[in-house]
Amino acid sequence: MVHMRDVWVNWFEGEENGYNVCDFFEWRSDDRIEVLDQVVVVRVSPPLFDYIENQMSDLPEDLLQDVYQKSYLRKNMSRIQLDYAFVASDGERIIAVDTMGYKTPIRKSRLTPRQEQLVYELLQNESDICYDLQGHEPKKEHHILSPDPKEMKGLTRKERQLKQLLYMALDQLFTSGNEAEIRYWLTEWEPDRYDEIQGMDHHQAWETLYRDVRQGWSEHHYHFCESLIKGQAFFEKLWELEHGESVK
C-alpha cells in the first residue's frame, strides 16, 4: 500500500452522486481547499470504485481496517490524524474520501491533474485489492432528488446546481400543489399547448412537466426555475448562493 504527500482536496460533503464531486477545473476561488499532509492510496476494483463514488453507504470493513489512521490532514502548523481517509483508484478514475470517523464516505474530492498523474504512476504496478462487497451493493435508485447521471451529462457545475434546485422546487410542487397549479406551471413551460394542458389531470400534467424539464439545460430552464422559486425564501437563498444575485 502506497502513500502520497501534500495532496490538495476540495471536499464535497454528503454527495451520493459522483457528478457532484467536481473535477479540478470546476473548483472555485471560494471553495475551501485543504491539504492532506499524507494519505494512503488504494487500488480497487471498478465495482467498488462505483460504490464509493456513487453511494453514501458503509464501506467494506477490510478496506476501513487497511486505511485506519494512515492519513493526516495539515492544518496551520498541526498534523491531524484521520481515522478513515484515503485515495482510491480503479486505474482509470480517482477519488479521495474522508469518512469523518464514520464508516460511510461522507466527504469526497477529486485531485489536481498533477496529483492524479502521480496516483497513476504509484499504482502502475499495484494489483486491485479484492475487498469484499458482499452485503454492500444496494441497487442505486435515481429519482427527482437524486437525478440520473444522464440528466447531468455535459452540464457545468452551475447548471447542475440550478437543475437540482429546479428539481427540488418541482418536487415541492408535486407534493403540495393542486391540479390547477401544476397545469399552470406546465403552461408556463409550454404555452403553445395551453388547450391540451387544460384537459390534463394532476398525474398527466405532472408527468408531462417532469419528463420535459429532464432534458438538458437551457435558457428556458433557467428562467422557468427563476419563476418557479420566486417568493420561496429557502429556494431563493439557494439561488443566490449559486447565482450570486437575487431572484428577479
pLDDT value at residue 242 = 83
Closest CA to 39 of 105, 88, 87, 80: 87
Could you count the other beta carbons within 10 Å of the beta carbon of residue 131?
A: 19
Closest CA to 88 of 40, 121, 133: 40
Highest mean pLDDT among 73-77, 141-145, 197-201, 220-224: 220-224
pLDDT value at residue 134 = 67
pLDDT value at residue 135 = 65
Higher pLDDT among residues 248 and 165, named by residue: 165
Could you count the other beta carbons within 10 Å of the beta carbon of residue 196?
A: 13
Distance CA 247, CA 231 (A): 9
Q: How confident is residue 131, by pLDDT bands cut at 50, 70 and 90?
A: confident
Interval 38-91: pLDDT, tens: 999 999 988 899 999 999 999 999 999 999 999 999 988 899 999 999 999 998
Q: Where are the domains of the chain?
A: 2-122, 149-243
Interval 214-227: pLDDT, tens: 989 999 999 999 99
Q: How confident is residue 247, by pLDDT bands cut at 50, 70 and 90?
A: low
pLDDT value at residue 124 = 85
Higher pLDDT among residues 2 and 140, named by residue: 2
pLDDT value at residue 50 = 92
Do the beta carbons of residue 167 and residue 145 sit within 8 Å?
Answer: yes
Is the pLDDT assigned to residue 36 strictly greater than 80?
yes
Interval 94-124: pLDDT, tens: 999 999 999 999 999 999 999 999 999 988 8
Per-residue b/e over 82-118, b at no fewer than 16 CB within 10 Å?
bbbbbbbbbbebbbbbbbeeeebbbbbbbbbeebbeb
- State the number of CA atoms in the 13 A half-sphere of 128 facing the CB: 13
pTM, 2 dp: 0.88
pLDDT value at residue 245 = 57
For the stretch 135-141, contacts whose Cβ atoms lie closer than 8 Å and that sit 24 or more positions apart, written own/partner, are 136/51, 136/57, 136/58, 136/59, 136/60, 137/47, 137/51, 138/55, 138/57, 140/54, 140/55
Average pLDDT across the chain, whole number: 91
- State the number of CA atoms in the 13 A half-sphere of 19 facing the CB: 18
- State the number of CA atoms in the 13 A half-sphere of 95 facing the CB: 28
Is the pLDDT assigned to residue 176 strictly greater than 90?
no
Sort 214 into a burial class: Cβ within 10 Å, 0-12 / 13-18 / 19+. middle
